[in-house]
Structure 1
Amino acid sequence: MQNATILLTAASLGFIHTVLGPDHYVPFVALAKARSWSRAKTALITFLCGLGHVLSSVLIGFAGIALGSAVSKLEWIEGLRGDAAGWLLLSFGLAYMVWGIKKAWKGEAHSHLHSHGEEPHAHSHSHEAAHTHPHAEKPSVTPWALFIIFVFGPCEPLIPVLMYPALNTGLGLAAAAAAVFSLVTIATMMSAVFLLLWGFKLFPAERLERYAHALAGFAVFACGAAVKAGL
């Protein structure tokens, strides 16, 4: 009975901490929309980032158990990681937003007035289209940036979930609790991402397409600000 309670607690904490942390899914939704990721690519990136997110905390937790560290010390380490992840989200979001604004500005269609000895008339064109040159597509660093950020991102609720069974029952139950917490966290992340992407399809947003990258950067920046504010 006690084992089942611990596993249920691990599952509940995995679900709640993910749902209450928009930084677990909003960046993927925003960037998937802006960069037109396929469903498969979105799922893969979300899964790998979620895996890095939970495994880093699991490794720290088991290292703490092996070294006999107190919960407070591990939570202090997780706090440092959370602070770093918040700054990384802020920095990446700000940089991406600035790049998105520049991209939208360059691609904005506008008109010039011309006169060829007749009635003046306007020509509308886009600088981005006018200055496009064929190049081999460069691999994007965006997925790697997200992965690094999520590896730094801590799973604070996981530490007591690991420590309690490890100290009172054994490592077997601690490993099972970690696995349940991890699976629920990743599943919740992916479910939230695809649910929000499906919801966005219900609202026409053609007018905002030009600003998709800028808005995605702002969304990531806002998540970083929320993390730094302790929300």
Structure 2
Amino acid sequence: MAPELVILIISAASIAFVHTLLGPDHYVPFIAMAKARGWSLPKTLRVVLLCGSGHLLGSVALGILGIFAGIELTRLEWVESQRGELAAWALSIVGALYCVWGLRHAYRQRPQTAAGWHSHGGGSHYHEHLHGGDTHSEPTEAPPSGSLTPWAIFVVFVLGPCEPLIPLLMFPAATQSVAGIFWVTGVFAAVTVATMLAAVTLGQIGLERLKIPALARFGHTTAGAAMLGCGVAIGWMGL
């Protein structure tokens, strides 16, 4: 293996790792969604693996097409930037809708109080109280379709580009060989997905230890707000 290719491979791994950690959209939505829906860690990681693979395939396909079709780098970068803006808008919209639904869900699940006159020791007074262990709330409302939100996130990730892959890796690799292209993209993809899986695992395990009963019914709201925040961060703050 040529020394130049070794350097490219090391660069691919380093850039993939840093790019993934600096992009909160690579892991925060999954951690928040898993907490809100009570997913097991294996289920969460399956969703991450699916979305991460879709996230990479679009940019890899576009980069390889550009290399073999001789498309100018500036044109590919323009396409990637448009995909990035579209993904940011999509993530923001999905997050906002889910946040609104979460607020409605939390309102419907609020504890109910009973008020009235009660007699105590020959006297009576008026007060409100919660229904103890039989707390009353509105009928439980299921999340919007059991698989709808994960698939919505998958679509957003397919739209989202891997910005460093084309300008920093694909074209330098193309000057080496076809084998070099696949080595660099393979390492970049593997490190990206592995970093996503590791970050989500640590985040989910950490949140499982954090229990705040008063905020339990706001889990869906928090998940939606997290997705909305990530959309704003990548679309308007450049993260």
- Give the TM-score taking structure 1 as reference length: 0.91
Other-structure match for 2:45:
43
Cα distance in 1 for partners of 2:65, 2:140 equals 52
Q: Is it true that 1:207 corresponds to 2:207 in the alignment? A: no
Residue 31 to residue 132, structure 1, CA distance change in 2 (3 Å): closer
Shift of 1:115: 4.4
Other-structure match for 2:192:
185
Q: CA RMSD in A?
A: 2.0
Cα distance in 2 for partners of 1:199, 1:132 equals 27
Other-structure match for 2:172:
164
Q: Does the 8 A contact of 1:106 with 1:126 survive in 2?
A: no
Other-structure match for 1:148:
155
Residue 132 to residue 190, structure 1, CA distance change in 2 (3 Å): closer
Other-structure match for 1:105:
107
Other-structure match for 2:14:
12
Shift of 1:38: 0.9
2:146 is paired with a residue of what secondary structure? Answer: coil
Q: Does the 8 A contact of 1:106 with 1:127 survive in 2?
A: yes
Q: Does the 8 A contact of 1:162 with 1:175 survive in 2?
A: no
Q: Is it true that 1:34 corresponds to 2:42 in the alignment? A: no
Q: Tell me which of 81, 84, 92 is aligned to 1:82.
A: 84
Other-structure match for 1:63:
65
* Residues 65-74 or 193-202, more deviating: 193-202
Write the letter of the residue equivalent to 2:136. Answer: S
* Residues 11-20 or 105-114, more deviating: 105-114
Shift of 1:165: 1.5
Q: Tell me which of 221, 225, 229 is aligned to 2:228.
A: 221
Write the letter of the residue equivalent to 2:203. Answer: L
Shift of 1:169: 1.1
Q: Is it true that 1:94 corresponds to 2:104 in the alignment? A: no
Residue 96 to residue 132, structure 1, CA distance change in 2 (3 Å): closer
Shift of 1:217: 0.6
Cα distance in 2 for partners of 1:193, 1:215 equals 16
* Residues 192-201 or 182-191, more deviating: 192-201
Structure 1 unmatched ranges of 5 or more: none
1:215 is paired with a residue of what secondary structure? Answer: helix
Q: Does the 8 A contact of 2:35 with 2:208 survive in 1?
A: no
Deviation per CA, 1:48-72, whole angstroms, max 9, x where unpaired? 0000001110001111112101111
1:207 is paired with a residue of what secondary structure? Answer: helix
Shift of 1:123: 5.7
Q: Tell me which of 24, 27, 31 is aligned to 2:26.
A: 24
Q: Does the 8 A contact of 1:92 with 1:220 survive in 2?
A: yes
Structure 2 unmatched ranges of 5 or more: none
What are the residue-to-residue correspondences of 1:114-153 with 2, within 5 Å? 114-115=116-117, 120=126, 122=128, 124=130, 125-128=135-138, 131-132=139-140, 139-153=146-160
Question: What is the percentage of aligned positions where both structures have the same residue?
Answer: 42
1:114 is paired with a residue of what secondary structure? Answer: strand
2:95 is paired with a residue of what secondary structure? Answer: helix
Cα distance in 2 for partners of 1:182, 1:71 equals 20
- Give the TM-score taking structure 2 as reference length: 0.88
2:210 is paired with a residue of what secondary structure? Answer: coil
Residue 178 to residue 197, structure 1, CA distance change in 2 (3 Å): same
Write the letter of the residue equivalent to 2:109. Answer: G
Shift of 1:203: 3.0
Shift of 1:80: 0.4
Shift of 1:175: 1.1
